[in-house]
Amino acid sequence: MAQALRIIIADDHTLFRQGLKSMLVNVHADVRVVAEVENVSSIPTALSETPCDVLLLDLQMDRNALADIHALAPRVHVVVVTASELPTDALTAIRAGARAVVFKRFAVETLMEAIRAVREGHVWLPPALQTRLASRLSDPDPKALTVREQEIVRLIALGFHNPEIAERLGLKNVTVKSHINRIFHKLDLRDRVELVVYAFRLGLVGINERAR
């Protein structure tokens, strides 16, 4: 039997926490909500006392929630659950270390899709948000990248890290890093989040495609 997916819910609204917990565990037999917290300051203690796979974090629960993602991310996969649908908030959350952004108006099945994606090592964003973020970037030029560079961008978008990309393509780690730096310079992008959006927009990877 597969190990249960352990989740901590961090949200300052008791009814929301309880309702979300009920929907998650009653519909998905492999899900366990191992803890609930109502403020950001309680999260480190909860993580220390109760090992978990995914932390569901409400951005609006505390003004420091976003800043604390960076400290929390190395310990657990952070999925931001938020009422805000501003692209800037989502982009900032991902850059801070969150692995997914899910809007509160979404169905629980969409949330589970995001949870399972980040558990497998992927970044997950709502398709509509991907489109809005893509609109902030310049139109992608298919000829801007070599075939090798497109392969690397595709693998990054699918959640592979540099050593995995190197092994998959038969390259040295330093060569992959060099390719990525050149890609950023060519496309005038700042980080992997913008690179993932570029990959979606160029059609190098499908919206819900997973690494094989």
Residue found under tokens 């997916």: 5
Residues sharing a CB contact under 8 Å with residue 26, sequence separation 6 or more, in sequence order:
none
pLDDT tens profile 138-195: 666 767 899 999 999 988 877 788 999 999 999 999 999 999 999 998 888 888 877 8
- Comparison of pLDDT for 26 and 138, the residue scoring more: 26
pLDDT at 135: 65
Provide, rounded to the nearest whole percent, the portion of the chain with pLDDT above 70: 88
Mean pLDDT of the chain: 84
Domain ranges of the chain: 5-133, 137-202
- Comparison of pLDDT for 5 and 212, the residue scoring more: 5
pLDDT at 161: 83
pLDDT tens profile 180-212: 999 998 888 888 877 877 887 777 775 455 444
C-alpha span between 150 and 16 (Å, rounded) = 42
**Which superfamily is assigned to 5-133 in CATH?**
Response regulator (3.40.50.2300)
Q: How far is CA 164 from the centre of its chain?
A: 18
- Residue 127 pLDDT more than 50? yes
- Comparison of pLDDT for 143 and 15, the residue scoring more: 15
- Comparison of pLDDT for 109 and 62, the residue scoring more: 109
Is-contact 123 99, C-beta < 8 A? Answer: yes
Q: Report, at the CATH architecture level, how domain 137-202 is classified.
A: Orthogonal Bundle (1.10)
Q: In which element (H, E) is residue 101 found?
A: strand 100-103
Is-contact 209 159, C-beta < 8 A? Answer: no
Tell me the average pLDDT across 71-100.
82
